[in-house]
Amino acid sequence: METKISIEAREVLMQLVELLNQLDYDTYTFAHPILSMGSIGAHTRHIIELFEQLNIGYVIGILNYDSRKREQRLEQDIDFSCERIAEIIQALERPNKQMLLKTLHSNSSNTIETNYNRELLYNIEHCIHHQAIIKIALLSLGIDTTQENFGVAKSTLANRKVCAQ
């Protein structure tokens, strides 16, 4: 059964795929000063790997975002990244379940209770945040290929509607 959260996750990931399909290799991999010499590819990899960690965590019941692979191919290969996003989208529709979140803070390991829906919502907001960063990098390069709402939080969109009335 598709939930509002899984629909929203699919939509935000599809926005990213639509953008990636408009970019060339040089734009995707450019080490941009605005991104502290990071690239759009690096931000895309980061988004993908957090969603993938959620999928792994769902299966084993323990989620650890700190144990990402940091796979360089995702930073270099747009088609490969889009394939991985497609795999994430296929796995979004899952029943909510309790999970443990392991995290490293203050040089010590911490574990807290969470659940799939809460972490999926976190990943949506995280993705939107990185899309906003990607949009800034593209605009600084004089490239305006993003959708109007790309990288804009749902709460901001709702507030804009209220203010426009």
Q: How confident is the model at residue 160 (pLDDT cuts 50, 70, 90)?
A: low
Main-chain phi, psi angles of 15, to 5 degrees: -60, -40
What whole-number distance in Å separates Cα of residue 120 and Cα of residue 164?
30
Q: Is the pLDDT of residue 105 over 90?
A: no
- Output the six-digit token pair for 58: 């769902």
pLDDT for the residue 159 = 60
Query: Which of 22-26, 32-36, 59-63, 151-155 has the least mean pLDDT?
Result: 151-155
Percentage of the chain exceeding pLDDT 90? 76
Query: Can you say whether residue 122 is alpha, beta or left, with left for phi > 0 and alpha for psi between -120 and 50 degrees?
Result: alpha
Q: Is the pLDDT of residue 158 over 70?
A: no
- Output the six-digit token pair for 66: 């700190």
Q: Is the pLDDT of residue 55 over 70?
A: yes
| Mean pLDDT, rounded, of the chain | 91
pLDDT for the residue 53 = 97
Buried (b) or exposed (e) across 15-25, using 16+ Cβ within 10 A? bbbebbeebee
- CATH for 106: 1.20.120
- The range of the structural domain enclosing residue 54 comes to 4-164
Domain total for the chain? 1
Query: Which of 1-5, 81-85, 94-98 has the least mean pLDDT?
Result: 1-5
- Quick one: average pLDDT of 79-87? 98
pLDDT for the residue 153 = 72
- By the 10 Å C-beta count (0-12 exposed, 13-18 middle, 19+ buried), 148 is classed as exposed
